A and B are shown apart, each in its own frame.
Chain A
Amino acid sequence: MTSIAAEGRRTRPNALSRAWAFVLRHVLTVYSLLFFLYLMLPIAVVIVFSFNHPAGRFNYTWRGFTWDNWLNWNAVPGIQSAITLSLEIALFASIVATALGTLIALALVRYGFRGRGTTNLIIFLPLSTPEIVLGASLATLFLHSASYGLSIPFGFWTILIAHIMFCISFAVVTVKARLIGFDRHLEEAAMDLGANEWTTFVKVTLPLIAPAILAALLLCFAISVDDFVVTYFNAGNQVTFPIFVWGAARVATPPQINVIGTAIFGIAVTLMLVNVFLQNRRAKQG
């Protein structure tokens, strides 16, 4: 009697754990693939509708296939200048933010100094502040600047400053992650072999953290090109690409918006694929 009871007790968790193992093995895979399908659904819509031949002002229902939108991607007034402005801002903002962020990351990882905690807090705060507050507060600074005798008109420079501001923290976090896992012995070896500090930095340190700097550059570029909220508060009458889309969403959505969206997506994914490929090759080489 007791042995049967014991057996029953033993088989029940077994059946349960076998069921759990089955869930983990197959259901999880199927679920994950469905999840990726869900992630890709809106992107597929964006790409497909870039080839649409819409009847009215809005591009919501499928009317037929055409190459026209791609061939005349800049036929919509204002779209080309909006993209140019977005790319210019993203280029400058990502370079400046990455440079400033790399220096901060070097200081944080390499040195013990007073005010470290405060520094970390100031880096962390912009990441945890809602964008609308970042945008409104910076705009308030520029609005008040006139009453302090240095008038900063809203436009290119205010957008650039805004983008550098919210990109710095992302650059710091990205470069810091790489510096923490850094083998110091390589630098010591270089110096033992007679290299001076500057040569060691340029020939050893910089090449080793170069992938992180590149990653920070790309991340900042992507965040900058995509930003709407902070830009909207600080742009004045300048129109970046997201602001163009915002304006268009109210009156008309030309399929050219989808063309540009698809193009940005294609370029970004290609860059990331190249990066993944290079990482895999490096891993294989050991």
Chain B
Amino acid sequence: MGLGFLHRHRGSTPYLLLAPGMLFLVVFFLVPLGFLAYQSLESGSIDFGYAFTWAWDNYSSAISGYGTQFKRSFVYAGIATAIALLVSYPVAYWIAFRGGRWKNLLLLCIVAPFFVTYLIRTLAWQTILSDNGLVVRTLGSLHLLGVLGQDGHILATGTAVVAGITYNFLPFMALPLYVSLEQIDHTLIEAAEDLYASKLTAFFRVTFPLSLPGVVAGTLLTFIPAAGDFINAQLLGSTTNHMIGNVINSKYNELIDYPAAAAMSFILMAIILALVLIYARAVGSEKLTG
């Protein structure tokens, strides 16, 4: 087992290797979460400062005051995740099963959008979705503008925000899907076909179930950042499309209402955690960890 020098200091070596990195994460990730929890129970104002008072009403007023934005965040993130899954599954399948020696290059194409700064990418969608842009004109000629847009616009509507979120987190969905599809043993699919399963049956009974770990990973990796996002709503939506991220951002950075922002952050995390657990139960928790 392992290198020789591991034998000599068996007990302490792993801890010595872990110490610097884990210490960093504890001090700058876990401890800050504690501070945020503390701050979420403070009360006061910018002028007189905030003090810890077990102010649980920060939580109740966050829910009563910004329930719409919470709901909108999860609806937008849910729709975007579902679209991303449907749109990228066939492509992941195509690369994994038909990519051949082009696989690496095709994967590069999938991550390429990542390399244009997030904000610049989103600004490019502003141009594409603008009133005299390609999308509005195409939808107009298909008479779909009334369905997807509002008063002849796409920009500054929920459609634009969902489109932006879908695009921006697409690689998070496509890559895990590809990884799980790529690992499938092709002889299993051949065996199903030898046993007279049609290609369609073989797909739904063999390929798809085997790719479920990728579906689960991709869904979580897309949904979690999407639910907390505020850039797409800010740049592609209007104030009627604001998500909870926009509220947290403005409370924290503009209104300096730290306790409210902290309480909302914890509610956001709690809802995400609850949804993840429900989801894990539905698809089988062994798929989550395995």
Contacts and interface: CB of A to CB of B under 8 A. Distances in A.
B91 A42 contact: no
Given A45-B128, A110-B2, A104 B18 contact: yes
Contacts of B35: 137, 140-141, 144
Which 3 pairs between the two chains have the least Cβ-Cβ distance? A130-B228, A197-B5, A100-B21
B20 A28 contact: no
Interface residues of A, number: 95
B268 interface: yes
A11 interface: no
B272 A39 contact: no
Given A29-B98, A31-B90, A131 B228 contact: yes
A138 B109 CA distance: 34
Interface string B108-134: 111111111111110111111010100
A239 interface: no
B4 A228 contact: no
B245 A140 contact: no
B30 interface: yes
Contacts of A280: 101, 104
A21 B199 contact: yes
Interface string A129-143: 111111011111101
5 contacts: A36-B106, A122-B29, A133-B36, A222-B114, A245-B119
Contact of A143 (B101, B118, B132, B258): B258
Contact of A141 (B18, B28, B94, B231): B28
A45 B124 contact: yes
B136 interface: no
Contacts of A165: 24-25, 28-29
Contacts of A16: 198, 200
B88 to A, nearest CB: 7
B151 to A, nearest CB: 19
B268 A136 contact: no
Nearest to A106: B17
B72 to A, nearest CB: 15
B36 A137 contact: yes
A89 interface: no
Contact of B225 (A32, A131, A138, A279): A131
A137 B231 contact: no
A176 to B, nearest CB: 12
Interface string B240-254: 000001001100110
B14 interface: yes
A46 interface: yes
B3 interface: yes
Interface string B15-54: 1011011101110111111011001000000000000000
Contacts of A28: 90, 93-94, 98
Contacts of A249: 119, 123, 235
A119 B22 contact: yes
B28 A161 contact: yes
Given A35-B87, A132-B265, A242 B117 contact: yes
Given A28-B90, A249-B235, A268 B115 contact: yes
Contacts of B31: 141
Contacts of B269: 129-130, 133
Interface of B: 2-6, 8, 13-15, 17-18, 20-22, 24-26, 28-33, 35-36, 39, 87-88, 90-91, 93-95, 98, 101, 104-106, 108-121, 123-128, 130, 132, 167, 170, 198-200, 203, 220, 224-225, 227-231, 235, 245, 248-249, 252-253, 258, 261-262, 265, 268-269, 272, 276
Interface of A: 13, 16-17, 20-21, 24, 28-29, 31-32, 35-36, 38-43, 45-46, 49, 60-61, 100-101, 103-104, 106-107, 110-111, 113, 119, 122-123, 125-126, 128-134, 136-141, 143-144, 161-162, 164-165, 168-169, 172, 184, 187, 191, 196-198, 200-201, 205, 222, 225-226, 228-229, 232-233, 241-242, 245-246, 249, 253, 257-258, 260-262, 264-265, 268-269, 272-273, 276, 279-280
B198 A13 contact: yes
Contacts of A187: 3
Contacts of B108: 269, 272-273, 276
A35 B17 CA distance: 43
Contacts of B227: 130
B124 A42 contact: yes
Contact of B119 (A125, A141, A228): A228
Nearest to A109: B2
Given A28-B93, A113-B14, A122 B88 contact: no
Nearest to A141: B32
A85 to B, nearest CB: 14
**Which of B6, B95, B111, B115 has the most chain A CB atoms inside 10 A of its CB?**
B115
A19 B222 CA distance: 33
A144 B37 CA distance: 13
B231 A140 contact: no
A40 B2 CA distance: 45
A136 B248 contact: yes
B104 A276 contact: yes
Contact of A138 (B28, B132, B220): B28
